[in-house]
């Protein structure tokens, strides 16, 4: 059986909820999905944390994210797993920001040699799917086998444990 790690970036605070209304949450949608995956398959769980603080106000946050993307900013990561050498399967989770991953994900991916790794992306969003994020992962993580993954409607994630768990188990 593959040795797996679930790695994710998630934002708590304000986000878009059902009906595209702003809601407040103590745990980010991607974190919830990551925990479902981790509970289903075991292995390690690692949260990527940006060294910068993002606004808790959703509208300000999306503008910050847009500026980072347009500038090609590589947002510093607070800490990295010591090594990914022991893992052959990486479940990689993030929200869709401006049709791709948050820029901190680019920084994280650029830190490692992905040769021989299998990357299985999962992305939370409110209808935009993966956008260009899978293409971006393939471009950065050269030598890896990037799978199709799953997109998850963020406002519905709390009700999707069975679906996410079954999907994750089916990847191993």
Model pLDDT for residues 57-85, shown as the tens digit of each residue? 888 988 999 999 999 999 999 999 989 99
Question: What's the CA gap between 30 and 72, in Å, rounded?
Answer: 23
Residue 2: pLDDT over 90: no
pLDDT at 14 over 70: no
Quote the pLDDT of residue 141: 97
Instruction: Indicate the domain borders of the chain.
Output: 4-170
Tell whether domain 4-170 is in CATH 3.40.50.360. Answer: yes
Average the pLDDT over 81-91 and give the result: 95
How far from the centroid of its chain's Cα atoms is residue 85's Cα? 20
Q: Are 8 and 48 in contact (CB under 8 A)?
A: yes
């Amino acid at each position: 059986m593959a040795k797996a790690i679930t790695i994710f970036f998630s934002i708590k605070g304000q986000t878009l909820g059902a009906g595209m209304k702003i809601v407040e949450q103590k745990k980010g949608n991607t974190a919830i999905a990551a925990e479902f995956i981790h509970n289903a398959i075991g292995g390690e769980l690692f949260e990527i944390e940006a060294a910068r603080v993002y606004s808790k106000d959703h509208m300000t946050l999306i503008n910050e994210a847009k500026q980072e993307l347009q500038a090609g900013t590589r947002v510093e990561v607070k800490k990295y797993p010591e090594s990914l050498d022991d893992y052959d399967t990486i479940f990689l989770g993030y929200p869709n920001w401006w049709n791709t991953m948050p820029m901190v994900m680019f920084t994280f991916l650029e830190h490692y040699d992905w040769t021989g790794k299998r990357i299985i992306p999962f992305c939370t969003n409110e209808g935009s799917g993966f956008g260009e994020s899978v293409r971006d992962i393939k471009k950065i993580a050269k030598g890896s086998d990037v799978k199709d993954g799953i997109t998850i409607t963020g406002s519905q994630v709390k009700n999707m444990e069975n679906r996410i768990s079954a999907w994750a188990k089916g990847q191993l």
